[in-house]
Structure 1
Amino acid sequence: MADISIKQEHQLPLSKAKEAAQQVADRMATEFDMATQWEGDVLSFKRSGVAGTLALREKEAQIDITLDFLFKAFAGTLKEKVERNMRKYFAEAA
C-alpha cells in the first residue's frame, strides 16, 4: 500500500499528459536523485528509500509513492511538494 497517493484531474490529450508526467519525473529526478522509466503509460521511479509510479489515464493522473521507514517522517512535506508539482504540470497545462 502506498504511503502517498495523489490523483490529479487533467484535460490533456494522452500525449500532452505524458509530456507533463515527464516534467514531473524530471523535477523529481533532479530534486530527489531518482531513476525513472516508462512502461507504457506508467512511469516508475525509484531511489534508495522511495519508490513509486505515476499512471496516466484519460482525464486523470495518479501517483503512488511508497516510503521506507526513514522517509515516512517526511511524508507530509513530500506529499505537499508532489501535489504542488502535479497541479503545476497537469492542471495548469490544460
Structure 2
Amino acid sequence: MSSIDIRRRHSRSQKEARAAVERIAKHIAEKFDVEYGWNGSVLDFSRAGVDGHIALEKDEIHVYARLGLFLGMLKGPIEAEIHRYLDEEFA
C-alpha cells in the first residue's frame, strides 16, 4: 500500500486557510470522485482505494493519503496534482 504525506507551511488565518482547504477538497472531489467532510480542523476524505485527511494546523497544512493497489500505481500524478492545488492556494 502506498501513501502520500505532504506538509506545507502557511501564514494565513485559520479562516482563510480553511476556505483554501475547502477549495482544494472540492477540486479533488471533482477530479478523483472522493467524498469528504470536516471533523474539527481535519478534513477527512475517502473513496474506494484511497482514504486520508488534510489537517489544518496554525501554520501548517498536512495532507496524508493511503492509496490502494490501483491508485498506488498513480501515486506520482496524484501527488503532483495535490502539490499543484497547494501551490495555487498557499503560494
Paired-residue identity, % = 30
Partner of 1:41: 41
Q: Which runs of 5+ in 2 are unaligned?
A: none
State the TM-score, normalizing by the size of structure 2: 0.94
Q: How many pairs are equivalent?
A: 91
Partner of 1:69: 69
- Separation of aligned partners in 2, 1:10 and 1:87: 11
Partner of 1:4: 4
Give the root-mean-square deviation of aligned CA atoms. Answer: 1.3
- Separation of aligned partners in 1, 2:7 and 2:86: 9
- Separation of aligned partners in 2, 1:34 and 1:41: 19
Amino acid at match of 1:21: V
Stretches (4+) displaced over 3 A: none
Q: Which runs of 5+ in 1 are unaligned?
A: none
- Separation of aligned partners in 2, 1:15 and 1:2: 32
